[in-house]
C-alpha cells in the first residue's frame, strides 16, 4: 500500500510528516507522495478559450496575472485540464519559486500533490450536483465549490481550535447560491473521533445535507499518475512579467473576427428579408405566427453574435499611437473587460490627459500613479481608460 505524507513549515524550515501527524523517519518509502500546504500553493480555476493547446501556457500566464497578487518574476505555476460539460477549464496551482524549490528539496524527489487532487477525485461521484468540499487539515482548511458540472471557486483559511467558527467562516466566503448546498467533509482519519460529532451537529443545526469521509479511505484507490504538480519537466511554467502570443494566434483571432462579422452581416440581411416578407403576409394568420417565431429566433442569434464580436484591436492600437506617439514610451499595456491600463514613461505624464479626453474612443481617463525618476527627467506613470467599443461593421 502506498504511503502518503505532507510537508509543512516548522519555524524557518520545512519538514515531512505522516498523515497521522508524526515526523517522517529516514526509513520511509523514498517514493511516498508528499502533499503541499494549501497556504503555500493556491488553486485558481480559469476558463480556456477554443484555442490550440500549444498556446495554453501563454494564455494562462496572462490570466493569472490579474488573479494572483504575487510578483510575476517570482511566481511559478502548474495546471491540470478539466472539463465542465462540453467546455474546458484549468485548475491552476500557483506558488512562489522559492517555496516550490523548498518543497522539491525536502521531498527529495518524491512526487508532490495538492489537497485539490484528492477533492477532485472524490468529486467524480457527484459530477452534476452542486456541493462544497471542505478538507480539514491539521493547521488549515481547503474549501472548493462544485456546481454546473465543474469547480468554480477554491480558497484556504487557517484552522482554529473552534470548528463551529471555522465552518461559519467557510460559509461566509461561499456564493449565496451555495449557502444551502451539500457539504462533503474530508479529514485525516486521526481527527475522525472528535471532528465527526461536531460536523454532524453542524449539519443538523443548519439543516444541510453532509457527507463525512476520511481521506485515507480514498488514497489507496486514487490514480495519482496525473495529479502530480511542479514536476521537474514543468520548471519553465512561470508567470513572467512579459506575456507574448505567437503571431499565428493573432492571425487566428483575426480570421475568426472576419468570419464572424460576415456571418453577422448575413444574419442581418436575413432578418430584414424576414421582416419584409412578414409585411406581405399579414393577411395570412398562420404564416404570420410562424414568421414571428423565426424573427424572434433570428434576433436572439444576432444579439448573441454581437455580444461575442471582438473589438478591432488594430483600430485600438492605432488610436492609442496617435494620442501618445512621441510623447510617451509604453512599457506595458493591458486590455480586459473594456478597461485599458497603460504603464509607461513620459517627460510630462499629465499632458497626456487632454489628448485622451478629446478622443471618441476613450473615456473616464485617469492618471493613477506618477513617479519621478531622480536620475532622469522621465516620469513613470499608470493610466486607466475605458474603451468605447468599435467593430469592423461600425467603422
Please, which pLDDT band fits residue 132 given cuts at 50, 70 and 90?
Answer: very high
Which grid coordinates belong to 339?
A: 478597461
Return the higher-pLDDT residue of 174 and 71. Answer: 174
Whole-angstrom distance, CA of residue 190 vs CA of residue 185: 14
Say what the pLDDT of residue 258 is: 76
Say what the pLDDT of residue 284 is: 67
Q: How many CB atoms sit inside 10 A of residue 134's CB?
A: 21
Lowest mean pLDDT among 57-66, 83-92, 217-226, 358-367: 217-226
pLDDT at 136 over 90: yes
Lowest mean pLDDT among 68-77, 168-177, 292-301: 68-77
- Rounded to the nearest 10 degrees, the angle between the axes of helix 285-308 and helix 247-280 is 160
pLDDT at 314 over 90: no
Closest CA to 138 of 20, 246, 32: 20
Q: Strand 210-214's sheet: what is its strand order?
A: 150-158, 140-147, 131-136, 182-187, 210-214
pLDDT at 283 over 70: no
Return the higher-pLDDT residue of 338 and 347. Answer: 347
Closest CA to 5 of 94, 108, 93: 108
Cα-based angle 262, 268, 272 (whole degrees, multiple of 5)? 150
| Mean pLDDT for the stretch of residues 2-12 | 81
Cβ-Cβ contacts under 8 Å for 147 (sequence gap 6 or more)? 130, 131, 177, 178, 181
pLDDT in tens, 175-204: 888 888 999 999 998 888 999 999 999 999
The helix (run of H) or strand (run of E) holding residue 269 is helix 247-280
Residues 37 and 8: beta-carbon distance below 8 Å: yes
Whole-angstrom distance, CA of residue 64 vs CA of residue 234: 17
Beta bridge partners of 95: 76
Say what the pLDDT of residue 395 is: 42
pLDDT above 70 coverage of the chain, percent: 79
| pTM for this model (two decimals) | 0.58
The pair phi, psi for residue 79, each rounded to 5°, is -150, 160
| Mean pLDDT for the stretch of residues 55-79 | 76
pLDDT at 21 over 90: no
Please, which pLDDT band fits residue 128 given cuts at 50, 70 and 90?
Answer: low
Q: Which of 22-26, 216-220, 363-367 has the highest mean pLDDT?
A: 363-367
Return the higher-pLDDT residue of 217 and 200. Answer: 200
pLDDT in tens, 288-301: 677 788 888 888 87
Say what the pLDDT of residue 243 is: 47
| Mean pLDDT for the stretch of residues 273-278 | 77
Say what the pLDDT of residue 290 is: 76
Return the higher-pLDDT residue of 393 and 90. Answer: 90
Say what the pLDDT of residue 59 is: 76
Q: Which of 10-19, 27-36, 95-104, 162-171 has the highest mean pLDDT?
A: 162-171
Cβ-Cβ contacts under 8 Å for 369 (sequence gap 6 or more)? 380, 381, 382
Which grid coordinates belong to 359?
A: 478622443
Please, which pLDDT band fits residue 171 given cuts at 50, 70 and 90?
Answer: very high
Whole-angstrom distance, CA of residue 239 vs CA of residue 75: 6
How far apart, in Å, are the Cα atoms of 262 and each of 278, 298, 342? 24, 15, 32
Please, which pLDDT band fits residue 391 given cuts at 50, 70 and 90?
Answer: very low
Amino acid at each position: 500500500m502506498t504511503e502518503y505524507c505532507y510537508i509543512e513549515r516548522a519555524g524557518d524550515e520545512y519538514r515531512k510528516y505522516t498523515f497521522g501527524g508524526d515526523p517522517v523517519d529516514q526509513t520511509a518509502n523514498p517514493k511516498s507522495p508528499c502533499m503541499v500546504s494549501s497556504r503555500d500553493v493556491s488553486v485558481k480555476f480559469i476558463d480556456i478559450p477554443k484555442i490550440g493547446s500549444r498556446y495554453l501556457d501563454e494564455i494562462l500566464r496572462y490570466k493569472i496575472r490579474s488573479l494572483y497578487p504575487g510578483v510575476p518574476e517570482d511566481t511559478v505555476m502548474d495546471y491540470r485540464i478539466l472539463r465542465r460539460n462540453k467546455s474546458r477549464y484549468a485548475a491552476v496551482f500557483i506558488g512562489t519559486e522559492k517555496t516550490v524549490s523548498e518543497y522539491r528539496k525536502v521531498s527529495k524527489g518524491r512526487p508532490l500533490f495538492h489537497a485539490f487532487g484528492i477533492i477532485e477525485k472524490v468529486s467524480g461521484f457527484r459530477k452534476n450536483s452542486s456541493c462544497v468540499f471542505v478538507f480539514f487539515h491539521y493547521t488549515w482548511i481547503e474549501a472548493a465549490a462544485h456546481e454546473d458540472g465543474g469547480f468554480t471557486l477554491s480558497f484556504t483559511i487557517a484552522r482554529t481550535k473552534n470548528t463551529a467558527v471555522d465552518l461559519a467562516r467557510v460559509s461566509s466566503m461561499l456564493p449565496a447560491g451555495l449557502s444551502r448546498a451539500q457539504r462533503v467533509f474530508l479529514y485525516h482519519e486521526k481527527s475522525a473521533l472528535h471532528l465527526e460529532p461536531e460536523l454532524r451537529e453542524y449539519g443538523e443545526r443548519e439543516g444541510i445535507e453532509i457527507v463525512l469521509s476520511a481521506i485515507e479511505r480514498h488514497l489507496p484507490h486514487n490514480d495519482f499518475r496525473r495529479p502530480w504538480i511542479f514536476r521537474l519537466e514543468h520548471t519553465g511554467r512561470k508567470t513572467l512579467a512579459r506575456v507574448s502570443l505567437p503571431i499565428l494566434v493573432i492571425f487566428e483571432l483575426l480570421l475568426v473576427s472576419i468570419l464572424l462579422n460576415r456571418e453577422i452581416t448575413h444574419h442581418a440581411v436575413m432578418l430584414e428579408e424576414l421582416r419584409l416578407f412578414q409585411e406581405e403576409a399579414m393577411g395570412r394568420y398562420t404564416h404570420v405566427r410562424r414568421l414571428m417565431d423565426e424573427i424572434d429566433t433570428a434576433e436572439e442569434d444576432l444579439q448573441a453574435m454581437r455580444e461575442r464580436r471582438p473589438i478591432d484591436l488594430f483600430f485600438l492600437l492605432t488610436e492609442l499611437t496617435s494620442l501618445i506617439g512621441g510623447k510617451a514610451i509604453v512599457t506595458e499595456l493591458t486590455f480586459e473587460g473594456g478597461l485599458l491600463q497603460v504603464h509607461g514613461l513620459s517627460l510630462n505624464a499629465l499632458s497626456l490627459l487632454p489628448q485622451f479626453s478629446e478622443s471618441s474612443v476613450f473615456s473616464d481617463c485617469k492618471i493613477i500613479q506618477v513617479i519621478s525618476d531622480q536620475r532622469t527627467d522621465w516620469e513613470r506613470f499608470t493610466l486607466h481608460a475605458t474603451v468605447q467599443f468599435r467593430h469592423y461593421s461600425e467603422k
